[in-house]
Amino acid sequence: MFDIFDDELEQMFSDGKHDKQQKLNVAFSLHDPINLLPKYKFVSMTDDSPLIDVINKLQQYSMGCVLLENDNKISGIFTERDAMKKVLGQRLDLNTEIISTYMTPNPECLRLEDPIAFALNKMVSGGFRHVPLIDNNKNPLGVLSMQSIINHLGEFFFDEIVNLPPKPIRGKTSREGG
């Protein structure tokens, strides 16, 4: 005889030998350091570069930001948001303008040992989508983006995210049933 609960009972009492390989082999915690996240490429240039060169790098590498250096230390960051707010529509000569005029100077930075939760808090409270990663000498090591954190979490929790029920466009205006 077929019981509708057979599948649930089989899952509860299975010995786990036939379970599919788990993708997550270690616990993932927001207290883990940033260096556990995958490394992403970044572009850095000197802070006396012409504006046109920086914008070309953003387009060429499809990056959201460029780190700007002075004496091999981070002096600023130029993001796509800076391009939209400070450059677009200003009728500037991009060949003669210097990036240091339009960059965000002395950006808040993170270290690879900082916890992911600290990075998320800094990004959300500061309204940053990109935060430079530096070593103890302020040398650039990379860029942490909100998208990279989301992508990393999405790899581990793919089935849970994909199987979420759809969110209705509009709420119910009346009760169903009696």
Read off the pLDDT of residues 111-169 as tens digits, 9 standing for 90 and up. Answer: 999 998 899 999 999 999 999 999 998 899 999 998 888 887 777 777 776 776 777 66
For each of the domains in the chain, give its residue range(s) and CATH number, in order of start: 34-159 (3.10.580.10)
- Name, in order, each residue with C-beta under 8 angstroms of 38's C-beta and a sequence gap of 6 or more: 148, 152
Q: Rounded CA gap, 167 and 160, in Å?
A: 15
Q: Is the pLDDT of residue 37 over 50?
A: yes
pTM of the model as a whole? 0.71
Return the pLDDT at 157: 73
Between 19 and 129, name the one with better pLDDT. Answer: 129
Return the pLDDT at 30: 76
- Nearest in space to 120 (alpha carbons), one of 29, 28, 30: 30
Q: Rounded mean pLDDT of 27-36?
A: 78
Return the pLDDT at 66: 96
Q: Rounded CA gap, 131 and 78, in Å?
A: 11
Average pLDDT value over all residues in the chain: 82
Read off the pLDDT of residues 118-133 as tens digits, 9 standing for 90 and up. Answer: 999 999 999 999 999 9
State the alpha helices, DSSP H only, in 50-115: 51-61, 80-82
Q: Rounded mean pLDDT of 43-65?
A: 94
Q: Rounded CA gap, 73 and 78, in Å?
A: 15
